[in-house]
Amino acid sequence: MEAVLRRSIGLVPLPPHPPARASNGTVARLNFTQTHWQSWQFSVCAPVVALASFSSRSSRVARGRCRVHAAASNKTVANKLSLPPGKPGNAFLDLLKYVKDPDGFIATQVKNYGPVFQMNYFGRKTVIVGGADGVLGFTSAEKEITKSALPDTFSQLHTAYGTMNQAGKIHKSSRVNLISAALCEEAFDAFLPVIRRRCVDFLDSLESRGTFFPAQEFKDWSVALFAELFTGIPFDDEMKRLLYTYNEGLYGLVPLKLPFTAFGRGFKAKDELVKRLRKQIEDLKRTGQIEEPQYAALRRLMKSKDENGEPWSMDHVATSAMIMVWGAYVELASLLADAIYLTASYPEVREKAFAEASGAPAATQSELKKLRYLQGILDETLRVKPPSGGGFRLAEEDLEIAGYRIPKGFVVSADPRITNMDPELHPDPLSFNPDRFVECPATSLPKGTWFPGGIGLHGCPGIPLAMLISKVFLADFVQRFKNWQPTSASKGKEGWVTIPIRILGDKYEMEVTKR
């Protein structure tokens, strides 16, 4: 795979089409930008010129971007453009290939066609967009691709209250409400003592046991944590089971509400979980307990108003609270499990993390932000083991992105995995090296090349909280344990779950050695 990524630009010819131009007249720095792939069509010297420009103009050129716009504003021009390269094959066979190895499938398409290409994704004609030019084109055209293209099972179970199903003023209003309730600096300050207590409880238990199952235990722990942070209401075993059943239903293939389908079971679980939450919230309000400190985020959520200024209904509040816990738990579990898994193979990484965590206080948000090496571990984990690809939107008009025509009715997705493995951005991209993000923080990367939580209007607003929790956890973890490895029974048996969120298998067990 790395050999593929290191190939010189332009060695795979593409159908001719007009080149994308950077707004400052330069060629973008990225190895996989659409500008480079297109320039090959006009001159065999273009790759040499482009590669030479990397060293002489990298800092200035990296900010270059091609001008892209919705084809709705210029349909005549858009209609003359070619479709993205790619040969969507048999929908079923493509799906099997993707599910078996999502990253390898995407890498093969990039090798064959460049960073913007067509494919079949869950039976729908889809354009995957990568590289700085393509991603910036996606965000520029996003106002024309506001409609969700998620599977019907997901859309129904996500409900009308779920932001992934929303667009326009409704979506904007919902995001503001959710961020104000639980995803802002004020909320984080209140969350820190709870996060620390939960981390201590988990790690005390791990010290006494010596072994654990990262994926399953982090999922259970994350559900309990986010339920407490977002609602103040403990999720008992039955509520946890309902949430997991709901999650399975979201990705069911058959949208029939029948007892023997994952979708049917998920729908029933959703209704029961929302009913339980609604009753508990109403009881808290009736008894006055809602004013207690642990319910602060829930109180803020209950004050939410819709795009017309009308207060949210209790059903809206309860459903949104459930979706918030659902949306956060598996992402955090994935990040923590993958970080522990990856660092197990790198003693020098573990020792650097220990040196940083033991040498600096980390009691406040500002102090946690100074833990740059731990941040590097988390960013490198998201680069090497991204939890998923991009979100999926439906082109409601013909669009132009990165010099290509995207026909109405196509699904469009900006995929972070393409630039994550760009050797011009990340030398030796297959290696796990947190120092790369210490030397060049993610915030300094060219625009459109780093978006682990998605990009644009539907980018995940919970990434800062996930990072905060993960830093608190890792800082304590590396100070307690000097080594962690898979048990002999689990070596080579990771059992990766790749769809919808990448995470270790539940049966993968690790053992820890105390300092």
pLDDT at residue number 17: 36
User: Which helix (H) or strand (E) segment is 278 a member of?
Assistant: helix 262-287
pLDDT at residue number 81: 93
Residue 64 forms part of a structural domain: no
- Reduce the DSSP state of residue 239 to 3 states and report it: helix
Residue 487 forms part of a structural domain: yes
Which pTM value belongs to this model? 0.84
pLDDT at residue number 76: 53
Structure tokens of 233? 């209401």
pLDDT exceeds cutoff 50 at 42: no
Residues 203 and 81 in one domain: no
Over residues 377-392, the pLDDT tens digits come to: 999 999 999 988 887 8
Tell me what the mean pLDDT of segment 160-166 comes to. Answer: 94
Give the residue from 400, 435, 470 where a domain finishes. Answer: 435
- For residues 383 and 370, give the distance between their C-alpha atoms in angstroms, rounded to a whole number: 21
Domain, as residue range, for 272: 160-387+454-514
pLDDT exceeds cutoff 70 at 99: yes
Read off the amino acid at residue 373: Y
Residues 88 and 229 in one domain: no
Residue 155 forms part of a structural domain: no
Residues 103 and 240 in one domain: no
pLDDT at residue number 473: 98
Structurally, how many domains does the chain consist of?
2
Tell me what the mean pLDDT of segment 454-481 comes to. Answer: 94
Residues 270 and 377 in one domain: yes
pLDDT at residue number 388: 86
pLDDT exceeds cutoff 60 at 64: no
Residue 175 forms part of a structural domain: yes
- For residues 203 and 364, give the distance between their C-alpha atoms in angstroms, rounded to a whole number: 20
Greater pLDDT, 29 or 246: 246
Please check whether residue 134 is in contact with residue 419, taking contact to mean a CB–CB distance below 8 angstroms.
no
Residues 351 and 496 in one domain: yes
Question: What CATH number is attached to the domain comprising 244?
Answer: 1.10.630.10
pLDDT exceeds cutoff 60 at 226: yes
pLDDT exceeds cutoff 90 at 495: yes
Residues 173 and 233 in one domain: yes
Residues 260 and 115 in one domain: no
Question: What CATH number is attached to the domain comprising 399?
Answer: 3.30.43.20
Tell me what the mean pLDDT of segment 233-244 comes to. Answer: 97
For 147-151, 373-377, 394-398, 403-407, which range has the lowest pLDDT when averaged over its residues?
147-151
pLDDT exceeds cutoff 90 at 261: yes
Which residues contact residue 99 at a Cβ distance below 8 angstroms, ignoring those fewer than 6 apart?
A: 498, 499
pLDDT at residue number 100: 85
